[in-house]
């Protein structure tokens, strides 16, 4: 259910955060022409009425002010990522005589409603400023564009590293303050670098003297995502962890232990427990493979859509040029992005070291 909810939110466009800014203007005033079709300011106002409470709730939850910079960011997102994107999709659907009512889309909508619940489903749409018809149109466009796409095994493996070589490893992390980061922005559990290094070195010395890794990991490690099971992560693929950690685990042999490894999070002591070769096609279930192919098609669809935008004739009306996402920033205020913080702790990240989601630890 969690992944399906994320997929629904992502339909809006990554970065939108489900917010909208009220624009003033007459009912026939337009803010942009997209391939000759005028998009009205009144439609932006209408979208706002759908999502206002969600905007307020989001910023309150994040402890952030819904200030003018945030409003300008949201205003830009809704203009480009919702209304302009919707118009491009609508026009291409009409030009190709593609139908909105697609059985596969009907099934997806039905299953999503059942898993999320009708009220949550409706709230998610409202928070994005979408009607169900708009959602169906987006999904139908995705279906028609990707239906005839061919995906090679090489492409699947390139974008799904979990099918490649993996490692089972365990580690102990002692958090260290980051150089050049203001004190108020430091992890409150991080120690000054010299102190963190000394503590990590003491743990490494104890391990080298024969103390038990699992016990020390549970007692000393500051990685909440792994300390409970002795620091173990299973099925780590290349590129999943931060660079220094990744380089280390794929250079060690099973049973080998690293010296201190410094990352942006602090000092790590790492042991490789197992190495697993790439999975053969026969070792990958059809369901896993289908999901992997869908991710590849999704990436190709993103490229397709970007090309649609680049080819489109998009002309912002006088007074609305600030909405042009591809124009060069002209003021320091325009050069700043007051949007969602990618380092926010509001998500459900479990590990302090991953750059991609980690698989759940397997039980024996």
Helix (H) or strand (E) holding 307: helix 286-311
Is the per-residue pLDDT at 332 higher than 50? no
The residue ranges of DSSP E strands in 162-245, in sequence order, are: 166-175, 232-237
Amino acid 65: pLDDT: 85
> Which DSSP string do the residues of 33-99 spell out, in sequence order?
EETTEEEEHHHHHHHHHHHHHHHHHHHHHHT----HHHHHHHHHHIIIIIIIHHHHHHHHHHHTT--
Question: What are the pLDDT digits (tens) for 228-282?
Answer: 999 999 999 998 999 999 999 999 999 999 999 999 999 999 999 999 999 899 9
d(CA 116, CA 109): 10
Residue 315, phi then psi, degrees to nearest 5: -125, 115
Is the per-residue pLDDT at 364 higher than 80? no
Longest dimension (CA), the chain: 78
The mean predicted confidence, pLDDT, of the chain is 83
d(CA 72, CA 21): 8
Question: Residue 286, Cβ neighbours under 10 Å: how many?
Answer: 7
Q: Which of these ranges, 126-135, 264-273, 341-350, has the smallest mean pLDDT?
A: 341-350
Q: The pTM is what?
A: 0.65
Q: Which residues pair with 34 in a beta bridge?
A: 37, 314
315: Cα separation from own chain's centroid: 30
Is the per-residue pLDDT at 328 higher than 70? no
d(CA 134, CA 151): 28
In angstroms, the Cα distances linking 65 to 69, 71, 127 are 10, 10, 18
d(CA 95, CA 89): 10
Helices 41-62 and 118-128, axial angle in degrees (round to 10): 110
Instruction: Answer with the residue of higher pLDDT: 269 or 55.
Output: 269
Q: Residue 237 in contact with residue 164, Cβ under 8 Å?
A: yes
Percent of the chain with pLDDT over 90: 57
Q: Which residues pair with 175 in a beta bridge?
A: 266
Question: What are the pLDDT digits (tens) for 10-30?
Answer: 444 434 433 334 334 456 899
Question: What are the pLDDT digits (tens) for 145-190?
Answer: 999 899 999 999 988 888 899 999 999 999 999 988 888 888 999 9
d(CA 68, CA 287): 46
Could you give all domains of the chain from N- to C-terminal order, each with its CATH number?
2-150+284-327 (1.10.4030), 165-276 (3.10.50.40)
């Amino acid at each position: 259910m969690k992944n399906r909810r994320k997929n629904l939110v992502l339909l809006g466009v990554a970065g939108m955060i489900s917010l909208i800014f009220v624009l003033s203007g007459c009912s026939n005033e337009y803010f942009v022409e997209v391939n000759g079709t005028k998009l009205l300011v009144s439609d932006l106002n209408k979208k706002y009425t759908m999502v206002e409470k969600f905007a307020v709730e989001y910023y309150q939850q994040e402890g952030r002010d819904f200030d003018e910079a945030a409003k300008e960011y949201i205003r830009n997102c809704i203009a480009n990522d919702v209304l302009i994107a919707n118009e491009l999709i609508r026009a291409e659907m009409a030009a190709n005589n593609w139908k909105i009512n697609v059985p596969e889309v009907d099934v997806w909508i039905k299953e999503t409603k059942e898993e999320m619940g009708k009220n949550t489903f409706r709230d998610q749409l409202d928070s994005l400023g979408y009607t169900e018809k708009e959602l169906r149109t987006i999904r139908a466009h995705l279906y028609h564009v990707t239906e005839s796409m061919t995906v090679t095994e090489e492409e699947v493996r390139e974008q799904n590293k979990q099918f490649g070589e993996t490692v089972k490893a365990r580690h102990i992390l002692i958090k260290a303050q980051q150089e050049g980061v203001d004190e108020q922005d430091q992890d409150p559990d991080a120690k000054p670098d010299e102190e963190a290094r000394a503590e990590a070195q003491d743990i490494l010395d104890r391990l080298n003297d024969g103390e038990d890794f699992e016990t020390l990991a549970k007692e000393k490690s500051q990685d909440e995502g792994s300390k409970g099971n002795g620091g173990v992560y299973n099925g780590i693929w290349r590129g999943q962890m931060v660079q220094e950690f990744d380089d280390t685990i794929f250079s060690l042999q099973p049973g080998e232990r690293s010296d201190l490894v410094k990352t942006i999070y602090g000092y790590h002591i790492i042991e490789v427990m197992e190495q697993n070769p790439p999975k053969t096609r026969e070792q990958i279930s059809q369901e896993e493979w289908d999901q992997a192919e869908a991710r590849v098609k999704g990436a190709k669809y993103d490229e397709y859509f970007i090309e649609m935008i680049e080819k489109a004739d998009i002309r912002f009306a006088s007074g609305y040029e600030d909405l042009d996402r591809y124009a060069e920033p002209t003021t320091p205020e325009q050069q700043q992005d007051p949007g969602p913080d990618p380092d926010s702790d509001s998500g459900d990240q479990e590990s302090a070291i991953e750059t991609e989601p980690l698989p759940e630890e397997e039980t024996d």
